[in-house]
Chain A
Amino acid sequence: MPHISLPEGLPGITSGFAFRPETAKPMRELAHTLLHGPSTLTPAERELIATYVSSQNDCYFCQTSHGAAAAAHLGRNSDLVEQVKSDFLHAAVSEKLKALLMIAGQVQQGGKTVSSEAVEKARLQGATDLEIHDTVLIAAAFCMFNRYVDGLATWQPRDPAMYSKMGEHLATHGYLTPAISTPAPELSAKRPRS
């Protein structure tokens, strides 16, 4: 059960957003610019960074919804998403993305953990300053989103079809509008009442 009374039937961060629309707006805009806006990193690469950090933070809702968005960008390749989460060094992603995921993992542990060596390595693999900046901010932002979602103990259903639909929506439309706008009655009915 959530720690505070949140709108029913809305999973994860969407319930926090509905509870406090004033803060939802800049949070949506931040996610949209970082993950969906113009960038030399592909949306798939950026979603993989978000998914990896959320997985390191053990946030089920965020790693599953952003993992689904990443898979949607990658022609439904959810195996690759799983591989990045569990062992990105051996995943079929570019050496540059591996170096950026290394930086993202350091940010997740703490800002001071980011090493000059990791940054140098990313640069050697072709990463630009802006790509390094955005990697740091995506990782930092997900340390916020993950804590917001778990810190309120939001409802996080185990429903693969729901996440897959959400992922398609996010991959297509981005983050400015809700992926789930109205409470889904069939989902709230499944919600444990305990």
Chain B
Amino acid sequence: MPHIQLPEGLPGIRGAMAYRPETARPLNDLVEILLHGPNSLTAGERELIATYVSSENDCFYCQTIHGAVAAASLGDNEALVKKVKYDFEHAEISEKLKALLVIAGQVQRGGKQVTTEAVVCARYLGATNLEIHDTVLIAAAFCMFNRYVDGLATTQPRDEEMYRERGKRIAREGYINISKEYLPAEIAD
């Protein structure tokens, strides 16, 4: 049961966002820019970073929904998403993304954990300053989202199909569009 009275029937972060639309809007704007906006990293790559960090933070809702968005962005390759969560060093992804995932994992443990070596390695493999910046901020943002979702003890159904379907819609429509379902129109726009 959630720690506070949240709107019923809206799992995970959706219940919290519907409860407090004033903070939901900047939260949705941030995730839209980081994961769905124009970027030299693909949406699949950015969703994998978000999924990996959420998995390290042990947040079921976030790792499952973002894992589903990642899979939808990667030709429904759910096996690759699982591999990235548990052993990204041996996953079939670029060496550059592996280097960015190392940085994301360091951010998850704490800002001061990020090493110059990891950054130099990412840069050597072709990562730009903006890509490194966005990796750090995606990882940091999910240290927020994960704590928000678990810190309120939101309901997190174990229904894989629900996440799969919603993941496909988010991959297609983005976060702001889909938030119109549960936020007042004047906030979501």
Q: Which residues of A contact B (CB under 8 A)?
A: 3-5, 16, 19-20, 22-23, 25-27, 29-30, 33-34, 37, 57-59, 106-107, 110-112, 114, 116, 119, 129-130, 132-134, 136-137, 139-141, 143-153
Contacts and interface: CB of A to CB of B under 8 A. Distances in A.
Give 8 closest A-B pairs by Cβ, nearest first: A150-B111, A111-B150, A144-B144, A147-B140, A140-B147, A26-B29, A26-B26, A129-B4
Contacts of B27: 26, 30
B110 A147 contact: yes
B5 interface: yes
Interface string B118-136: 0100000000011011101
B150 A147 contact: no
By secondary structure, the A interface counts as helix
Contacts of B22: 33, 37
A150 B143 CA distance: 14
Interface stretch (B30-38, B70-78, B83-91, B177-185): B30-38
B149 to A, nearest CB: 6
A29 B30 CA distance: 10
Given A111-B151, A153-B114, 17 more contacts: A4-B119, A20-B130, A23-B30, A25-B29, A29-B26, A110-B147, A114-B150, A129-B4, A132-B3, A133-B16, A136-B3, A136-B152, A144-B144, A147-B110, A148-B136, A151-B106, A151-B139
A89 B73 CA distance: 48
Contacts of B107: 147, 151
A155 to B, nearest CB: 14
Interface of B: 3-5, 16, 19-20, 22-23, 25-27, 29-30, 33-34, 37, 57-59, 106-107, 110-112, 114, 116, 119, 129-130, 132-134, 136-137, 139-141, 143-153
Nearest to A131: B4
A114 B133 contact: no
Contacts, number: 145
B58 A144 contact: no
Nearest to A152: B136
Contact of A119 (B3, B30, B116): B3
Nearest to A25: B29
Contacts of A5: 129
| Residue of B129, B139, B151, B152 most packed against chain A (CB within 10 A) | B151
